[in-house]
A and B are shown apart, each in its own frame.
Chain A
């Protein structure tokens, strides 16, 4: 009897396990089919990161449904910001339907477009292209086609500094590298602290330094040079590239920054800055809110541009609109009219405004969104905004980015030379090409590849 019971239990366990592992049979909403006779529009994306952002999205969906009573909008936020590709991979394997997807622009540019996951939006968006600020849609263009719609604020990089400490020591905002050296000398003498402490254990932050120095050493040709390099038309071991690394080394050689930064993460950097154990750090404008949360009312925080390293060459800053939406090739092909109806509704400034501003108020990608006029925003918009170039890590592949990221502190701390660093970048590129990397993938695509990303039809009207 006991054995029979055991066998029954084993059988039940197996059945339960197999049921648990079985593929989701799907429901009307996720399959893109109708639910209660309504047409379903499915919106996906990573879990929202900013305060109230999820509620703002839900409000847009509710307002859209109120305006279109025949439609049900289903929103699914899944995974973290970094998990976008894996989430879409899982959705594809599970045959899920997603009509619109919201995620970081870098993932779209670097991975999703060439993997054939994005629908070509060039023709679809044409009637409403003027809703975006100048240059915004260009940043989502590859091979002459528009693949995504920037729906966020534009981030850039800047030096943050402790205003109270600067005032106490009578320091002025430095414009050139020599002035920054002098500022740091005073801080070290008077306070006995490392002037600049970075979140250097996060390797991904180092290339931002290179983007600044390379913009100057290349005479404002950084993006063009990198594109030529990735196309095989430019050698990355030249004078401009070596000089860009050597400029960063100057920061270490002059004692502005030291190897402590290599062992410091974001929390450590912010804590040191908040406690006055460092006076400055170089970071993204997207960090402002988090930095202010840590500092509170302790002191005022100021920002200044990366200094001029070469006399007469003005700084240029890496930049890009962080968030975008795109139409995945996983969409319901019968839904193009609905998708575009939603996009038209969504890109009205009054509808997308709160979502765009939830991240930051810097240069919203949509025309007509009003910002609050915060001092920090005003400063960045008036100083940095005139000299922005595309983040290089949006142009080069992750392998190259990682080599740059690991070599910057290595050169700075003297573990390798600038010449060896650029040589390693070049040899990494050569290896990638041997392994099948193609920068201008759009030139290699077959008609069949293009057919997969063409919209099934162009709606006559977007239902405005």
Chain B
């Protein structure tokens, strides 16, 4: 009897142990993520400048946010940014992984060099590329001029038609190394025998890629796309802020930069929180749909 109770206690202790060990992380997560989120959601129903007393106004902040032309424009810019960044980060990342997966000279150097920008901060990268794009001193226009490609010289950050793409490129450049490494590890785990069997059946390189590589690395593609798309939606503040501040003429204003501006420059914290909740809902829905669609076959 005693032995049974003691064994049950031991089992309970063993099963509870992992939960106990996650408690510190859970406390941190609750304090720094869950609690601010709940408080942000709560204040989105109030008119509040952060200093004076809060005034309850129901869902008006959500209406004000959706009526705000600049916020709607910033949402559109965010979508454009997210689509461009997701496609290119994954396209280039996968392409580079395929190149490096083969036995090429300087493989380790290429991998290190391509991964290095991942370790740079957004501020450093933003300042660096702002100078590269600079119309007076920038090496990009200087190089184009030197190559005789004067027709390609642009106001990379001053032309409202291309500024968002110039900023997006910097984000892509910074992160392709990260996505490349993930793809590379996935490619290296695909069994060689599958390719050998396919070749015996007469498959060419393209067929191998479509029918073997893609299905075999699908889980990593899902992960990469999810990381890229959510990252592009919620992690663009520093880069945009450093490079353009949302200009010219709001052409690079994203939902994040505009909600921060609304909170701390316009002192309208309630409306800014409503904007953040709207952005959260959009990212949640997109992430959920993307995850469901891309894992449909696996299910």
Contact = CB atoms under 8 A, between A and B. Distances in A.
Interface of A: 3, 6-7, 10, 13-14, 17-18, 21, 85-86, 88-89, 92, 111-112, 114-117, 197, 200-203, 259-265, 268, 271-272, 277, 397-399, 402, 406-407, 409-410, 415-416, 431, 434-436
A90 to B, nearest CB: 10
B245 A10 contact: no
Given A115-B52, A415-B249, A398 B24 contact: no
B236 interface: no
Contact of B264 (A86, A402, A406): A86
B67 A431 contact: yes
B137 interface: yes
Contact of B24 (A17, A88, A202): A17
B252 to A, nearest CB: 11
Interface string B29-71: 0010000000000000001011110000000000010011000
Given A13-B24, A263-B158, A85 B51 contact: yes
11 contacts: A3-B13, A14-B27, A17-B27, A92-B51, A197-B136, A201-B130, A203-B245, A203-B247, A262-B155, A409-B249, A431-B64
B20 A262 contact: no
B268 interface: yes
B160 A415 contact: yes
A264 B136 contact: yes
B249 A406 contact: yes
A406 B24 contact: no
A201 B134 CA distance: 11
B74 interface: no
B265 interface: yes
A277 B137 CA distance: 10
B147 interface: no
Contact of A268 (B50, B136, B261, B265): B136
Contacts of B261: 402
Nearest to B156: A263
B64 A435 contact: yes
A200 B47 CA distance: 33
A14 B23 contact: yes
Contacts of A3: 13, 17
Nearest to A263: B158
Interface of B: 13, 17, 20-21, 23-24, 27-28, 31, 47, 49-52, 64, 67-68, 130-131, 133-137, 155-160, 244-250, 261, 264-268, 271
A201 B267 contact: no
B104 to A, nearest CB: 38
A398 B70 CA distance: 14
Given A89-B50, A264-B136, 10 more contacts: A85-B264, A117-B51, A260-B136, A262-B247, A263-B134, A263-B157, A268-B136, A399-B266, A410-B160, A431-B67
A323 to B, nearest CB: 20
Contact of B134 (A85, A264, A436): A264
B248 A10 contact: no
Contacts of B136: 197, 260, 264, 268, 272, 277
Contacts, number: 114
Given A398-B265, A406-B249, A201 B157 contact: yes
Contacts of B271: 435
Given A17-B27, A268-B136, A263 B50 contact: no
B266 A17 contact: no
A255 B115 CA distance: 44
Contacts of A264: 134-136
Contacts of B13: 3
A416 B249 contact: yes
A262 to B, nearest CB: 3
A416 B131 CA distance: 27
B133 to A, nearest CB: 7
B137 A271 contact: yes
The 9 closest A-B pairs by CB, nearest first: A262-B158, A115-B51, A263-B158, A260-B135, A410-B249, A263-B157, A115-B52, A13-B24, A89-B50
Contacts of B47: 436
Given A406-B247, A435-B64, A260 B155 contact: yes
A7 B249 contact: no
Contact of B250 (A7, A111, A406, A435): A406
Contacts of A263: 133-135, 155-158
Contact of A262 (B64, B137, B248): B248
Contacts of A415: 160, 249
Contacts of A112: 51
B134 to A, nearest CB: 6
B35 to A, nearest CB: 11
B17 A201 contact: no
Given A17-B24, A435-B64, A85 B50 contact: yes
Contacts of A402: 261, 265
A416 B31 CA distance: 46
Contacts of B27: 14, 17-18
A55 to B, nearest CB: 30
Nearest to A432: B266
Nearest to B13: A3
Contacts of B28: 17
A268 B157 contact: no
B155 A10 contact: no
Contacts of B52: 114-116
Contacts of A416: 249
Contact of A406 (B67, B68, B248, B268): B248
Residue from the set B137, B155, B247 with the largest chain A CB neighbour count within 10 Å? B247
Contacts of B67: 431
Contacts of B248: 262, 406, 409-410
B20 A10 contact: yes
A10 B23 contact: yes
Given A6-B21, A415-B249, A116 B51 contact: yes
B137 A201 contact: no
A393 to B, nearest CB: 12
A116 B64 CA distance: 25
A112 B49 CA distance: 10
A460 B52 CA distance: 31
A438 B17 CA distance: 58
B24 A10 contact: yes
Contacts of B49: 111, 115
A265 B51 CA distance: 32
Contacts of A397: 266
B274 to A, nearest CB: 11
Nearest to A449: B52
Contacts of A434: 64
A283 to B, nearest CB: 17
A402 to B, nearest CB: 8
B155 A259 contact: yes
Contacts of B23: 10, 14
